[in-house]
Amino acid sequence: MSKNERVWFITGSSTGFGRELAEQALARGYKVAATARDTSTLADLVEEYPETARAFTLDVTRTEDISSAVSGAVEAFGTIDFLVNNAGYGLGGGIEEPSMEQIRRQYETNVFGVINVMREVLPLMRKQKSGHILNLSSVVGIISWPSTGYYASTKFALEALSEALAGEVGHLGIKVTLIEPGGFRTDFAGRSFVKPSNRISDYVSSERIDNIGDYHGAQPGDPVKGVKAIIKMVESETPPLRLPLGEDAVTAMEEKLQAVQKDIDDWREVAIDTKVDEEQGEAAGN
């Protein structure tokens, strides 16, 4: 199949990586089913690329929206080759600080939304024996810093789900990649970040949450370059399971791996010295 016959389905296409990915994919000749809660934000894309762009209403917390958007994309373009689960947002605060309503809403969007979209698209990809699922994780899908626990836990969940899925569908010709950005100049630290409903002064780390607006627009990563890296990756013969983006992400992930290895090395003997003694094992078998 030639490039200009392949179809992208992108959630959260109104801003950030989703919007930039839709623009670059269209400019490169791909077809794009762009989705957003408000499709008026995508009108200019459809106007510029009337033959290859379609806009669909999609709130990933609404299963009826998911079904309608996926079926609309297939009706318009015949298939979906690249599924990009980009829709999501951040919730800050210590473990005690957000309300349970805020926590549940975070999981409904960042985890269950992704699950429901994947489950809607996977039957199509299994039938055609091809496809590539890209799940937008984060550097905090590998490292959970203070005051990012809930957001990070949703990305940790995507890491586990994606890793399992890659093993389940690889033999069917379906690829899975986790995109793990560090700080990029999207609207994540602005509109897409929610502060906790309750504040507890004991948690000094939560000052980072109060000051996150100062980080907005000052992140080191360029979304245009980040998306170029994503497209280069999907066009390669051997795309990875994980693609960290940004020097900050790469460095932080390397430090996390070193810290994990140190814990293993420091406690190796204690960890290993937990197996059943041979004498006990023989006695239990008699």
Active site residues: 137, 151, 155
Q: Please, which residues bridge with residue 185 across strands? A: none
CB 39 within 8 A of CB 58: no
CA–CA distances in Å: residue 98 to residues 101, 144, 156, 210: 8, 16, 19, 14
Tell me which residue of 95, 173, 92 sits closest to 129, measured CA to CA.
Answer: 173
Q: Which two tokens stand for residue 107?
A: 């999981």
Cα distance between residue 266 and residue 206, in whole Å: 31
List helix spans (H) across 32-78: 43-48, 63-77
What interhelical angle do 113-128 and 63-77 show, nearest 10?
30
Taking phi over 0 as left and psi of -120 to 50 as alpha, with beta for the rest, 15 belongs to: beta
Cα distance between residue 183 and residue 249, in whole Å: 8
Which residue has tokens 């309503």? 101
187 in helix, strand or coil?
A: coil
CB 119 within 8 A of CB 165: no
CB 70 within 8 A of CB 9: yes
